[in-house]
Chain A
Amino acid sequence: MKIDLDILPTKHIGATVSVKIRTKYFGNTVFLVDTGSPISMMSGYDLLKLKIPTNQQYTVDEIPVNLGGNSILISNELRDITLTFLNKNVLKLKQIYVSNDLRTGKNSAPMVQSLLGYDFLVENKFFLHYKPSDNIAYLEN
């Protein structure tokens, strides 16, 4: 399986993804692929945009996360997520952490983007191919 990634204006690589959670909540978003993040995480902004309720049963003890100089809190997790990619590939993700933290630090941009982290790459046995000089980026397993 091969999944093409975009190189975004911020010089990050990301995948355009349709997200389906328990078949009920569905919408489109962009995930950054972040090999340095041990967890996959949905931002509080995507949580609101996709109208995903944070049921109490999915509440976890708040975990502070440092991202690009911002510190945010993870407060929930979602399970059994289906990700549909542009090339119609469908992947399952057992768990994704959720931040409902919309705070921004002084003089810093909000952490808008959701992340596909190391756990996603391991779970799906992906290689990450990335050649920024030629604008080439893709996942392959």
Chain B
Amino acid sequence: MAEVQELIEFRNDVEWFKTNFLKLQKDFPNTFVAVKDKAIITHNKDFKMVLATVEDKGINTASILIEFVTKTGTITIL
């Protein structure tokens, strides 16, 4: 099932993002980061610029992880 295999790779990137969150906070505060294969492939404070750059690299935005890195670790009470 290709769908699940892609999801496993996506999950690995989520795990990498979690593990490296503190470092990402220092390097990319208040920035959107796109993660693929456990690496940042682009980053920008403008979400639409991240999408455009990912597309320019020939990568489907729907398949990868794009997260916002908060500078101070925002507390969100839902």
- For residue B18, CB closer than 8 A to chain A, the reply is yes
Judge whether A28 and B76 touch: CB under 8 Å.
Answer: no
With A6-B14, A9-B73, A34-B78 already in contact, the answer to whether A88 and B62 are too (CB < 8 A) is no
With A12-B76, A34-B78 already in contact, the answer to whether A45 and B11 are too (CB < 8 A) is no
With A37-B78, A48-B48 already in contact, the answer to whether A88 and B70 are too (CB < 8 A) is no
Judge whether B68 and A28 touch: CB under 8 Å.
Answer: no
- For residue A27, CB closer than 8 A to chain B, the reply is yes
The size of the chain B interface, using a CB distance under 8 A, is 32
With A18-B6, A48-B47 already in contact, the answer to whether A28 and B66 are too (CB < 8 A) is no
Closest Cβ of chain A to B76, distance in Å, is 4
Judge whether A16 and B18 touch: CB under 8 Å.
Answer: no
Taken residue by residue from 21 to 50, chain B's Cβ proximity to chain A (1 for < 8 Å, 0 otherwise) reads as 100000000100000000000000001100
Taken residue by residue from 110 to 121, chain A's Cβ proximity to chain B (1 for < 8 Å, 0 otherwise) reads as 101001000000
A sample of 25 inter-chain contacts (CB < 8 A) reads A9-B21, A10-B70, A10-B74, A10-B75, A17-B7, A18-B6, A18-B7, A34-B78, A37-B78, A45-B47, A48-B51, A49-B51, A49-B62, A49-B66, A51-B61, A67-B76, A68-B78, A69-B76, A84-B7, A86-B7, A86-B11, A88-B4, A109-B68, A112-B67, A115-B78
Q: Which A residues contact B (CB, under 8 angstroms)?
A: 6, 8-10, 12, 16-18, 20, 25-28, 30, 32, 34, 36-37, 45, 48-51, 67-69, 84, 86, 88, 102, 108-110, 112, 115
